Structure 1
């Protein structure tokens, strides 16, 4: 296998073999493609957020929540992801505060009811995080999160709010812009649409796996499983295609003298199969 470290500029899945154009490595052609470009988390973009990532600021309660056992945490957001994070953290942390910029949760009714009924969770309505604050720790390790500055609608100025951990849960953006117009995407979320429980996309020969196609789980372990499934789907698709092509040219090929290659024989039957996996590191 060859690994190309480059940025994909555009793709052409309407032609065969498929064409993937890169920033510096030119064009790559392949008989099958597996898209595994992932998704990027939405962040607030406020002061202190980037500096304190991994030092109290996170975007994954499942991944990092256990590090805040019996500590105070806040969850920023009001949708399903925020509600799920808050409920998970309520089993681990001493106190969980949901900071939401609206006056009602956007999560499903069932999740919202559970959040509001949990005695370890409280909600700050109409409130936004204006900045993350760090301090303490050692000079070698740098600052860790100690609190946030909050802005509440209708209130003057900012107020400090102490916390040990902050989980930003305002959604993800699938990295699928390069495939718009090439593959069917979910109109609301932008994720690549798959056929049933397979890795097949709307374009035969193109498969997808991981967060670029996963609206529900978005975990490393589930992405790995989807990647394995997409690879199996791609192998089976190629085998069926090649078997069909061999059958189509078999009669003509037998009529040719020994050692002669039928010019009508598809090129992919005379060379090794090429599959490209489009991913981000």
Structure 2
């Protein structure tokens, strides 16, 4: 019986585990992949206090090493369900179950797929959702980046390290990214833009992507672009499928909490990108992790 099980080892989950373990609670952190979550897919992080710039995987490793110093246990697993037994919770993974007095959900989210023709069939053969992971495979190629927010524009800038040209396709006539990021993109000679446009279809041969059909949303005109890859950044979806029948998520699947990170189930907390909120950043995830780590300590103390 652990004091707390943290589901997810992104910045939110690792911070929660750090605070809980420093309060002398027994902590198990369950992660389905490498610690760090979306940070592992981020090239340079420039808005985390204390660093002018740091690579996402490096920050992930630093956080993880720090968490382990205070006794947090780590386990690999894909959580299938969480059962509320009143005074304790049962976290069920594919292979085994764990018991704890409290649970902190920090499962994060994933990039949303467009659902256009060719997206699924060319996945891993020219379609990607992670410039850091795959950018080096596209040297000297002409690439499309779909989206106009921070992630899309930042990753487009990163891809210019490898690509001959990066074309940002955005359904509006102006970007949604922060002004400082926009300025960098506009100043980059390798980046061009297709405004008021959406991706209609990804085309290619048996080996890889070779082109894409682009539609102008104002005129309805469709034209083809010769490209060597497509990077898609059109929003996020929460990784909360196992909890959607528990009454803690909204209609879109985001977990709802109060300001103390408490869900509607006593002893179950939620933090990070899986929460229903507006801003999803490393800094907000860390803040919520600290709050949750303190709140589980208070919850357990009050039950004694």
Distance in 2, matches of 1:108 and 1:72, equals 25
CA distance 1:242–1:103, shift in 2 (3 Å):
closer
* 1:59–1:169 CA contact under 8 A, matched in 2: yes
Distance in 1, matches of 2:172 and 2:253, equals 21
**Deviation string, structure 1 residues 115-148 (Cα, Å, up to 9, x no partner):** 222211111001111000011xxxxxx4311110
Distance in 2, matches of 1:30 and 1:42, equals 32
CA distance 1:179–1:201, shift in 2 (3 Å):
farther
SS across alignment from 1:64: helix
- The equivalent residue for 2:129 is 59
Structure 1 residue ranges without an equivalent (≥5): 136-141, 246-281
Distance in 2, matches of 1:114 and 1:28, equals 48
Distance in 1, matches of 2:172 and 2:130, equals 22
* 2:248–2:255 CA contact under 8 A, matched in 1: no
User: Which has the larger Rg?
Assistant: 1
SS across alignment from 2:211: strand
1:16 pairs with 2:87: yes
Structure 2 residue ranges without an equivalent (≥5): 1-27, 29-74
- Number of matched residues? 221
Distance in 1, matches of 2:164 and 2:126, equals 15
* 1:131–1:149 CA contact under 8 A, matched in 2: yes
Shift of 1:216: 2.2
CA distance 1:4–1:133, shift in 2 (3 Å):
closer
Aligned equivalent of 2:151, options 81, 85, 102: 81
- The equivalent residue for 2:261 is 201
Q: TM-score, normalised by structure 1?
A: 0.61
- The equivalent residue for 1:268 is none
Shift of 1:192: 6.8
Shift of 1:17: 2.1
Shift of 1:217: 4.9
- The equivalent residue for 1:7 is 80
CA distance 1:22–1:59, shift in 2 (3 Å):
closer
SS across alignment from 1:31: strand
Range that drifts further, 48-57 or 152-161? 152-161
Q: TM-score, normalised by structure 2?
A: 0.57
CA distance 1:184–1:110, shift in 2 (3 Å):
farther
Shift of 1:158: 2.1
Aligned equivalent of 2:230, options 155, 159, 166: 166
Cα RMSD after superposing both structures: 4.3
Shift of 1:34: 3.3
Counterparts in 2 of 1:1-281, with a 5 A limit? Answer: 7-8=80-81, 12=84, 15-18=86-89, 30-135=100-205, 142-155=206-219, 157-176=221-240, 178=243, 190=254, 201-202=261-262, 205-206=267-268, 211-212=273-274, 215-217=280-282, 233=293, 237=297, 241=300, 245=304
* 2:144–2:169 CA contact under 8 A, matched in 1: yes
